Amino acid sequence: MKIVVAGTGYVGLVTAVCLTEVGHTVTCVDIDENKIKMLKEGKSPIFEPGLEEIMLKNKDMLTYTTNSKEAYKNADVIFIGVGTPEKRDGSANLKYVYGVAEEIAESLEKDCVVVVKSTVPIGTNDKVEKLIKNKVKKGIKVEIVSNPEFLSQGTAVRDTLHAQRIVLGVPTKIAEKTMREVYDEFNIPYVITDRPSAEMIKYASNDFLALKISYINEIANLCEIVGANVEDVAKGMGMDSRIGNKFLNAGIGYGGSCFPKDTKALHWLANFYDYELKTIKAAIEINANQKLKLIKKARKYYETFENLNIAVLGLTFKPNTDDLREAPSLDNIPILLEDGANIKVYDPVGEKNYKKIYPNELKYCKSIEETLKDTDICFIFTEWDFVKNIDISEFERLMKKPIIIDGRNCYKIEDVKKYNVIYESIGRKTINNI
């Protein structure tokens, strides 16, 4: 079976590489020549634990090219794994999906199954089918399948190889049979349904998780007011099997390429049909407000940040990724800069991408010690292991005034109490030992 994957971002590249783990030979297509050059050299253009190792292990089963016409023409299965970024109005930008679909239609020389792996609004697969069938050569039969992904950045390889389900929205038994040939070796349960339902499963799943995060953040904010501890609350909730303990970590909101985009896209789609998803609308608003929680906490200690030396630990939206999309640091650092602060940052993985946005405005440090030294306040935006593993005495020893504003609850309150620091976190009591 000749498999081709269009797009070498998180969805496309992870899908392609993981398919080789079960014995498939895969061709990866991308218009970005620099990406293809990196991939041919055995380097992944994205930071994702375990991905590059499998790329190298299965290098003889992977081909990378910018020649889409040649790649598509004799393919048995083509996965569309390109981006669907958010438009200004919150809707999904589908131009890349439709662009690939047109190229496929113009290139195909045999029957093929086209699989839409990208996250797309309900009804998109039907539009892809119409587009391809209107353009493909006479006599060539093309089946369109919806096969949404459920991977998380930082654990994408594991999430693909050991997924909890494979969702297939198939129009015919022939398409289902082909997709089973692709996936049977993964030994993962299937959910077989129609295309609109498959598309909705993706959005409903992601938006439910965003709701869960927003809910626990709301509870955390109330815990601070009434003197409760959100971690104990979350533990008590999570032990209920009907609720579960996942996505109950209070913090400064969700980010990344999925939750922000998918909540807005589903909200926009509902509005398009004159229906309002009130819960999704609330999650979007809660998340926007939660991202600025640390600035509000810091204002208790400094009315202005002008001329203050500020330490920032963590820039990415979550650990184990270099992705900055919707990262809370991008909401907070501009405020600190506008106030006239001197900012030192430490995130060895996120630094490269951050320098594209702020090449000169920040001091990029090579160690936590350098970052903390002689600072007036420290913000924690990402719960990297190197942040969680700091000896708390280092804040006291290195900072001019050890005020720690922790947006990810990296440290136990009992441990912090032992040191002469001010410690603000989310949904827990403030420690003030200064």
CA–CA distance, 354 with 77 (Å, rounded to integer) = 37
Q: Which of 258, 365, 378, 410 is catalytic?
A: 258
292-297 long-range contacts, CB within 8 A, separation 24+: 292/331, 292/332, 292/335, 293/221, 293/252, 293/407, 293/426, 294/252, 294/328, 294/332, 294/379, 294/381, 294/405, 294/407, 294/424, 295/332, 295/335, 295/336, 297/405, 297/424
Q: Enumerate the H helices of 44-94 as residue ranges.
A: 51-57, 68-72
CA–CA distance, 112 with 27 (Å, rounded to integer) = 15
Burial class (CB in 10 A: 0-12, 13-18, 19+), 406: buried
CA–CA distance, 421 with 426 (Å, rounded to integer) = 16
User: Known catalytic residue: 223?
Assistant: no
Per-residue burial over 54-82, b if 16 or more Cβ lie within 10 Å, else e, is bbeebeebbbbeeebeebbeebebbbbbb
Name the β-bridge partners of 346.
313
Residue whose C-alpha is closest to residue 395's, from 414, 415, 417, 419 = 419
CA angle, 391 then 396 then 398, to 5° = 90
CA–CA distance, 250 with 240 (Å, rounded to integer) = 18
CA–CA distance, 171 with 189 (Å, rounded to integer) = 19
CA–CA distance, 90 with 108 (Å, rounded to integer) = 33
Unique residue bearing structure tokens 């999904």: 92
* Contact residues for 408 (Cβ-Cβ < 8 A; gap 6+): 249, 251, 252, 314, 380, 381, 382, 383, 387, 426
Contact assessment for residue 293 and residue 360, using Cβ atoms and an 8 Å cutoff: no
Contact assessment for residue 65 and residue 28, using Cβ atoms and an 8 Å cutoff: yes
Catalytic positions: 258
